[in-house]
Structure 1
Amino acid sequence: MMGKLGFYIMTGIAGFVFTFIFTIRNNLWMTSMYRALLAFAIWFLLAFALKWILAAIIAPRADKNGSGNSKAQSEQERGTVLDLSTPDEDRELMDLIHSESGSKENGDFVPLNPPKLVSTKDPEELAKAVRHLTDK
């Protein structure tokens, strides 16, 4: 508990010092001291709130019933663990790369032939529309 309280007090002192240093140049000594004390209280409370919120987010949820039911425990822990490992797909990628490089070496390369866009409009009607648009 003293470690946490020391952390809160240190953040409060940091707020006190910063506020006092920046306000002493433009204010009277008592006004700067009053504002620095307010800053101490605000930084202390912010540190307390931040630590409390982080502890609530990060701390694993314990089984409140005390029962050893693994299904109920897994339901409570759902969403608390993040698995950043990806499935191992290296073999599939290597097979794909080798199949592509093998077809190029054998001369089986076929260029891409996209389908042609065909207009169903009469060419005279399209030319008339272009002339109309270019006149304006």
Structure 2
Amino acid sequence: MTGKLKYCWLIGFIGFLITFASSSGNNLFMTSLIRGLIAFAVWFVLFYAAFWIFGSLKELPNNSVQEEEIFADEEQGKGGSFDLTTPDESDELNDLLKHPPANSAHINDFAPLNPPKLVKTTDDTDTEELVKVVRHLTEK
């Protein structure tokens, strides 16, 4: 574990240096130092957690592997094949295609949307009203 701690310290120090260097140009010395220390702590904890997780996954006992093999041998035949068959309905489909149903008369209820059209007339605008609007907007 001591070798892993050395790597965690190294990664934390690299994170400190990068953060301190990038923030020292825009901030005070103490602000940059505090941010660098926070970055050091975050990187250290992240890599320590990653090493711990990988270490716990790596140290699985060999008994569990043997138990999995025994369990797999016992259940080898279960769920190995799955038969998907559909009933043959080709005759019914052919009958439907040959004889369309009589009750569905060809009714066309579709009508395209015809919205009212907006027409702009030049008589509606009075130049005095436009001048008042422009003056009102420029006053604000």
Tell me the TM-score normalised to structure 1 length. 0.52
Shift of 1:74: 2.5
The residue that corresponds to 1:116 in the other structure is 94
Shift of 1:20: 0.7
- 1:40-75 deviations in Å (ceiling 9; x for gaps): 122111111111012112332256xxxxxxxx7723
Runs (4 or more) in structure 1 with deviation over 4 Å come to: none
Please state whether the residue corresponding to 1:126 is helix, strand or coil: coil
The residue that corresponds to 2:56 in the other structure is 56
Whole-angstrom CA distance in 2 between matches of 1:42 and 1:51: 14
Please state whether the residue corresponding to 1:26 is helix, strand or coil: coil
After TM superposition, list the pairs within 5 Å mapping 1:1-136 onto structure 2. 1-61=1-61, 74-75=66-67, 78=68, 115-116=93-94, 118=96, 121-122=101-102, 125-128=103-106, 130-131=107-108, 133-135=109-111
- State the aligned residue count: 89
The answer for unaligned runs of 5 or more in structure 1 is: 64-71, 80-112
Please state whether the residue corresponding to 2:54 is helix, strand or coil: helix
Whole-angstrom CA distance in 2 between matches of 1:32 and 1:7: 24
Tell me the TM-score normalised to structure 2 length. 0.50
- CA, structure 1 residues 117+44, in 2 after alignment: closer, same or farther (shift >3 Å)? farther
Shift of 1:120: 5.9
Matched AA of 2:101: K
Q: Please say which structure displays the higher CA radius of gyration.
A: 2
- CA, structure 1 residues 117+60, in 2 after alignment: closer, same or farther (shift >3 Å)? farther
Shift of 1:22: 2.0
RMSD: 3.1
Whole-angstrom CA distance in 1 between matches of 2:25 and 2:95: 74
Please state whether the residue corresponding to 1:9 is helix, strand or coil: helix
- CA, structure 1 residues 135+46, in 2 after alignment: closer, same or farther (shift >3 Å)? closer
Whole-angstrom CA distance in 1 between matches of 2:65 and 2:94: 60
